Chains A and B, each alone.
Chain A
Amino acid sequence: MKTKKLNMQKILAPAALVILYVFFSITGRNFFGMDGLRQILQSCYYIGYMAFGVTFVIITGGIDLSLGSLMLCSALVGCCAYSAWGWPLWLALILILVIGGLFGLFNGFMVAKLKLPPFIATLGTQMITLGFGSIISKVRTMYFPSVGSVDEWFRSVFYIHGQFPTGVLWLLGAFAVGWFLLNKTRFGRYVFAIGSNEEAARLSGVKVDRYKIAVYVVCGLFVAMAGIFYGAAYTTVLPGKGNGEEVNGIAAVVIGGTSMAGGSGSIFGTLIGVLIMATLKKGLASVGLQAHWQTFFTGFVVIGAVLLDIVRNNAALKSAKKQVQ
């Protein structure tokens, strides 16, 4: 009986995704079909990468509010190296990853070593990255190569090649890497261990600080990748932007059933969460509702998902108590 209940909850998010997709396929204008599907997937590349990255952080019981601004900060600086300093594009892309990794390290250091609450530490990083990007770029708007320019391959590799959405492969690749890291490695086991009970993990010999820092670095790298996909999709990167994007990443994780209390969650759930948000976004537009409606409805979905989490926890607690008695 108990396992059946658990399965029910696991399929709830995917079921919601299917229902949404079917609903908009019937009611939306040109929503159903390969092109529509491609559009849904294309709109979730950068959010997907952000969400995969922050999934690790949230499972350890932390949070990263610097996702959005770090994403655009690393993209902006990399693009500045490419278009203003004349770096070759491949080197600029590496720079983007380095910046993401370094700020991740910074976040991890503050949380693990200086014992700052993650909320405050990453809030600080959010502002630092906003300013940092503007300082380096001298508050200039930067442009990634678009169609018809010299480095056209950038868009082909990371976004779309002809009619083929290459970004989907990257998204699935990120999913595979994330899934493997979380479920098949010692790192993943310790992430869960730290999230369920940090003290217990420490007492059983886990080098908690080191793993916590690693978690934020992994998140930073995923976020930097998100920056690359943002550049491929939207070309123009403005300085001083990106704060506010983190809510998309965090919302996807929460919708996917990862508990904000830490200790439980899955990469698969996050993928479903990202797809639900993208389907809502494209679906609501296909029936003629504007972007702010999408934000409006996503808010309710997030609250619903958290409520579900609470109900689930209470039920688990009750059954645990029963067993003890």
Chain B
Amino acid sequence: MKRKLAMAALALVSVLGAIPVMAAEDPLYISVISKGEQHAFWQAVRTGCEAAAEDYGVDMFYYGPPSESDIALQVEALNTEIQKAPDAIALAALSTESVMAQIQECLDGGIPIIGFDSGVPNAPEGAIYATASTDNQNAAALAAEKMMEEESFVELVKNAAADAPVVIGVLSQDATGESNVNRTTGFVNKMVELVSEYQEVSVTGHELWLAEKEGAPVVINVEIPATPEVTDITNAANALLNTKGISAIFCSNEGTVSGLLAATSSGADLEDGAAYGDLVVAGFDAGAPQKNAVRNGWFIGSVTQDPYRIGYLSIELAVKAANGEEVEDVDTGAQWYTAENIDDPDIAMLVYD
């Protein structure tokens, strides 16, 4: 009996042992350590990663902690993955401080790390080979371009005069957060560039973007709320709406969109024929209220990051880095969604509720 058992165990061991041997020609093994899996945003990142892994024929392991405060779990997952000696790691760190030792280990062991989304800020020099993330300036510039594709708005700009200036409002949640600052800068710069073809432009409001020109017929007014609380954002939105000559507003994130909607009877005042029916509004990011505003045509459209491409390109960079090719940071781009395309499968995947 004992002998039989031993034989069976031996057989089992040999069968299991043979599995790795049979898988000839090991494909590249890439570990992806993300910030989560629960949000639609991260689901899209994962879909992108999986598509790239398929295209490049690599073995991929994707990890996302249950929530963005589960730092210990992310560190453990990273430890485990480093142990598996991957050919490259794609990492979006919850806390750079917590993974400093692991990053150093990868640096010493020659494992390339690719940052993605927010990446790994303040990492030691040379550890992060490249980062795949949204260039917020380019993304927000897209909103300015789309506004200037609205013929009625362009007419308004052309006919503006110094005594009755056209005002373009920018609502930014704060002037300190990197992504908000970049989005505002990107929008303002692009708008100045496009409007300058027809008219002189003055930029007023927050000092960070100040470029005032006396008597300019078009004014870009950057409004920053006192605090990022929705009540203060709503006050700032009201201030913009009450500005004489206000013709367009760009909201740089989900929070400012909420503030603007709160100031316009949940957006109903933006309906054609209502108090602000002629206002040209563009948003950024998604969320159910914003999607609703876009779908109803209250917004001409909104910009969204492209998490699918963030995922796809991070794997692409990881593969290149693993093969010893030179890699550099890439802009994963942005998408413009409107009432027409919001339900297209390609777009619907990117805009979360």
A interface residues, Cβ below 8 angstroms from B: 23, 26-27, 29-30, 35-36, 39, 42-43, 141, 143, 146-148, 155, 160, 230, 233-236, 238, 241, 281-282, 285-286, 288, 290-292
Nearest CB in chain B: distance from A230 CB, A? 7
Contact with A along B91-112 (1 / 0, CB 8 A): 0001101101100100000000
Whether B95 and A235, one on each chain, are in contact in the complex, defined by CB atoms closer than 8 angstroms, is yes
**Chain B residues closer than 8 Å to A290, beta-carbon distance:** 63
What residue in chain A is nearest B99 (Cβ atoms)? A235
Q: Which residue from A26, A29, A155 sits with its C-beta under 8 Å from B84?
A: A29
What residue in chain A is nearest B76 (Cβ atoms)? A43
Q: Decide yes or no: A230 and B72 within 8 Å by CB, A146-B100, A146-B101, A236-B97 being known contacts.
A: yes
CA distance A147 to B123 in the complex (A): 12
What residue in chain A is nearest B73 (Cβ atoms)? A291
Interface centre among B17, B69, B85 (most CB of A within 10 A): B69
**Chain A residues closer than 8 Å to B266, beta-carbon distance:** none
CA distance A59 to B145 in the complex (A): 70
Nearest CB in chain B: distance from A282 CB, A? 6
What residue in chain A is nearest B16 (Cβ atoms)? A26
Q: Count of B residues near A, CB < 8 Å?
A: 30
CA distance A292 to B67 in the complex (A): 12
Whether A236 and B104, one on each chain, are in contact in the complex, defined by CB atoms closer than 8 angstroms, is no
**Does B71 interact with chain A (Cβ within 8 Å)?**
yes
What residue in chain B is nearest A241 (Cβ atoms)? B69
Task: Report B23-77 residues with CB < 8 Å from chain A CB.
Answer: 29, 61, 63, 65-66, 69, 71-73, 75-77
**Does B83 interact with chain A (Cβ within 8 Å)?**
yes
What residue in chain B is nearest A147 (Cβ atoms)? B101
Q: Which residue from B29, B72, B85 sits with its C-beta under 8 Å from A234?
A: B72
Known contacts A146-B98, A148-B104; 20 further A-B pairs (Cβ under 8 A): A26-B16, A27-B16, A27-B19, A29-B29, A30-B83, A30-B84, A42-B79, A143-B95, A146-B101, A147-B104, A148-B100, A233-B72, A234-B71, A234-B75, A235-B97, A236-B97, A236-B98, A238-B69, A281-B76, A286-B80
- By Cβ-Cβ distance, the 4 closest A-B pairs, closest first, are A285-B80, A236-B95, A236-B98, A235-B98
Q: Decide yes or no: A236 and B71 within 8 Å by CB, A26-B17, A146-B100 being known contacts.
A: yes
What residue in chain A is nearest B95 (Cβ atoms)? A236
Whether A35 and B83, one on each chain, are in contact in the complex, defined by CB atoms closer than 8 angstroms, is yes
Is chain B's interface secondary structure helix, strand, loop, or mixed overall?
A: helix
Nearest CB in chain B: distance from A19 CB, A? 10
Whether A26 and B66, one on each chain, are in contact in the complex, defined by CB atoms closer than 8 angstroms, is no
What residue in chain B is nearest A38 (Cβ atoms)? B83
Nearest CB in chain A: distance from B270 CB, A? 37
CA distance A133 to B84 in the complex (A): 36
Whether B83 and A36, one on each chain, are in contact in the complex, defined by CB atoms closer than 8 angstroms, is yes
**Does B13 interact with chain A (Cβ within 8 Å)?**
yes
**Chain B residues closer than 8 Å to A143, beta-carbon distance:** 95, 97
CA distance A13 to B100 in the complex (A): 36
- What are 7 A-to-B residue pairs whose CB atoms are below 8 Å? A30-B84, A147-B101, A148-B124, A160-B101, A234-B75, A234-B98, A291-B65
**Chain A residues closer than 8 Å to B29, beta-carbon distance:** 29
Q: Decide yes or no: A39 and B80 within 8 Å by CB, A146-B97, A236-B98 being known contacts.
A: yes
Task: Report B160-212 residues with CB < 8 Å from chain A CB.
Answer: none
CA distance A290 to B34 in the complex (A): 13
CA distance A26 to B97 in the complex (A): 34
Q: Which residue from B13, B66, B69, B97 sits with its C-beta under 8 Å from A292?
A: B66
CA distance A81 to B81 in the complex (A): 34
Nearest CB in chain A: distance from B193 CB, A? 40
**Chain A residues closer than 8 Å to B61, beta-carbon distance:** 288
Whether B100 and A235, one on each chain, are in contact in the complex, defined by CB atoms closer than 8 angstroms, is yes
Nearest CB in chain B: distance from A245 CB, A? 9
What residue in chain B is nearest A23 (Cβ atoms)? B16
CA distance A201 to B294 in the complex (A): 73
CA distance A23 to B13 in the complex (A): 8
Nearest CB in chain B: distance from A201 CB, A? 39
**Chain A residues closer than 8 Å to B104, beta-carbon distance:** 147-148
**Chain B residues closer than 8 Å to A285, beta-carbon distance:** 77, 80-81
Nearest CB in chain B: distance from A154 CB, A? 12
Interface centre among A26, A148, A238 (most CB of B within 10 A): A26
